[in-house]
Amino acid sequence: MSPADITGRKVLNRYKLTEKLGGGGMSVVWKAYDLVLDRNVALKVLRPEMSEDEEFIRRFRREAQSVASLSHPNIVNIYDVGEDRGLYFIVMELIEGETLRDKLKREGALDTTEALEIASQICEALSHAHNRRIIHRDIKPQNILLTKNGHVKVADFGIARALGAISTTSRDLVVGSAPYLSPEQAKNGVVSNRSDIYSLGVVLFEMLTGKQPFAGDSPVAVALQHVQSEPPPIRKVKPSLPERVANVVTKALKKNPEERFSSVDEMRREMGFILAKAGWDPAPGTAREDAPASGGPEEDDDVVARPQKKRRGLSLGTKVFLVVAVIAVAMGGYALKLFRDWMDVPLVTVPELAGKLFVQAQEESKRLGLVLMVSGWRNDPEVPANVIISQSPLPGEQVKQGREIWCLVSKGQDLATIPDVRNMTVKEASIEFQNSDVSMGNVTRTWDEKIEKDRVISQNPKPGLEVPKNTPVDLVVSDGPEPQSVKIPDVRGKMLEEAKETLIESLLGVGNVSYQDSPLPEGTVIAQNPLPGTEVPYQYRVSLTVSGRTTTAKHRFSKTFRVPEEYAGQTDLVHVVITVRDDLGERVVYDRLVQPEVEQTVHFMWEGTQATVITDMGGRRSYETIRP
């Protein structure tokens, strides 16, 4: 829907849209008339692509309502937040004036006094928000509004905070504008009150010099410079700047948040001292500290109604100087008292919080006068749920009471739910396991009167259990009903190994194997007992006579096993029979009643190049091929 399509529309039958004021990546700003309270307001409407994200909308409404509780002369008031026929909006105070971005485009660098006064008022707004645990996250000239008399209003707390809530859990989204982004925001999305101080430092740099500290071909390139490069010394960009003013900018732009001002109040007090003193000695021949205008227009996402004409009078700097001269003594004394009070805040040692439950860590931090904050949550197979994985600052560091300690908290192992694959084929079960993030375990086969051949009878673990991802699931698969009798196939003329395979495939066993001289090739079956076609019980052992005499090696083998608890029936013991099939035929080497979950070992000898070990546990049979 284009802006022209909704001009004149009434939102909630109360706010009549009269004029489009501007737009940005997330929203379009309209001038609207409040039919109920008979006043003009600014209506910020989210763009359709933002409105389609339900998670963002939920956070946006909650955070906008939270920010609406902010009440300060330097913060744009939020009157209402809501939705009407697919339009999500916030109703805000309409500021008759311009943005700081407009002013910088028009004038370039500002007078030092004016720049410090604007920055001080921004500090006032941020201090009010920070004291209520609200971080702006996107301080930039487009979000700083200037009224006709030069009063500062900070806008867009709600959208930045709603996006910020998402950024703590998604590395794909970093809140903030690249030229004003703090290193920690660009690096990992973690923010604190000092992130706003860094962004304000960039804005102050631009107000004093007319230029941004970093420039690049793309937002990514600029963001990387915030992380990797030191900003240029501001006095090299503007040599006439007093050293104490330059120190304010330098400290605000430290890469390490710990080296910046501890709060916006500290930064504001330092600028207050400078304004109160108002007696610096600029370099000779620099009566006014102006610089060329910065380039690069940028689309605004702010609430402004721009005046058609601006009346000229005394400069804002002159007015500010006259006022400051009157109150300098009182302000200086009061600021000094505040500074001393701040310096008297005791230092505490940051405790070791990693490895502790969040609730315990919170109590410990509170006892020390520290504030524990969560930077994010992450699945971790090594750390239980609700236990802290890492922290910043690190243990042992000395910080002042009231400092925020940011921590990463574990959500525990990444779990999967065991699917129900009973009565499925093994292939179907394998696909189901892949889709459910578990893996195929051991597969054993057994006769079953009810379950169709090649379908799953039971599984372990049971369906519905929550387990760590990639946990193996063991299956018991049906061989169908146990046959009553089979006909003996003719294996005469086949080589011994082929004859054995034929008998096994026919559900028969191999009995005694004897050798005798014969004109047939050595290893050929020359006789069998019983004869072919004879009907015998299932697993009946057929004796074979083989041509020649093959000397076979004897081998020793040890098998260790444990019967699963679920194999136990009405009694506490399980009948286990272990049979060996080798060149000597088929024989039972173990036949006992054993207790489940108790490890057992059986030792036996076998002959030939390979043998088959058949293990029957309570009627559930498995096969294992062994070689020397």
Residues belonging to the active site: 138
In which residue are the tokens 């996402």 written?
Answer: 301
**73 touches 151 (CB < 8 A):** yes
CA separation for the pair 150, 317 (Å, rounded):
10
Structure tokens at 41: 């307001």
CB 424 within 8 A of CB 456: yes
As a whole number of angstroms, the distance between CA 300 and CA 101 comes to: 8
Strands (E), 10-105: 10-11, 15-23, 27-34, 39-46, 78-84, 87-92, 97-99
Closest CA relative to residue 468, chosen from 539, 380, 528: 380
Residue 133 near residue 402, CB atoms below 8 Å: no
- Contact between 386 and 409 under an 8 Å Cβ cutoff? The reply is yes
Question: How many helices and strands, by DSSP H and E, does the chain display?
Answer: 16, 30
DSSP per position, 428-457: HHHHHHHHTT-EEEEEEEE--SSSPTTBEE
The DSSP symbol for 96 reads: B
Please report, for residues 427, 493, 545, the alpha-carbon distance to residue 499 in angstroms, rounded to integers and kept in the order given: 30, 9, 11
Residue 179 CA to residue 609 CA, distance in Å, equals 75
* Cis peptide bond N-terminal to 213, omega within 30: no
Element (H, E) at 586: strand 585-594
CA-closest candidate to residue 496, choices 554, 548, 553: 548
- The residue written with tokens 């909308």 in the block is 57
Please name which of 437, 436, 376 lies closest in space to residue 411, comparing C-alpha atoms: 376
Angle, CA 89 vertex, CA 88 and CA 93 arms, to 5°: 175
Give the span between the Cα atoms of 575 and 568, in whole angstroms.
Answer: 9
How is residue 606 written in tokens?
Answer: 């076998």
Give the integer Cα–Cα distance in Å for 140 and 518: 100
Please list the helix, strand and coil fractions of the chain in percent, rounded to the nearest 5, in that order.
30, 30, 40
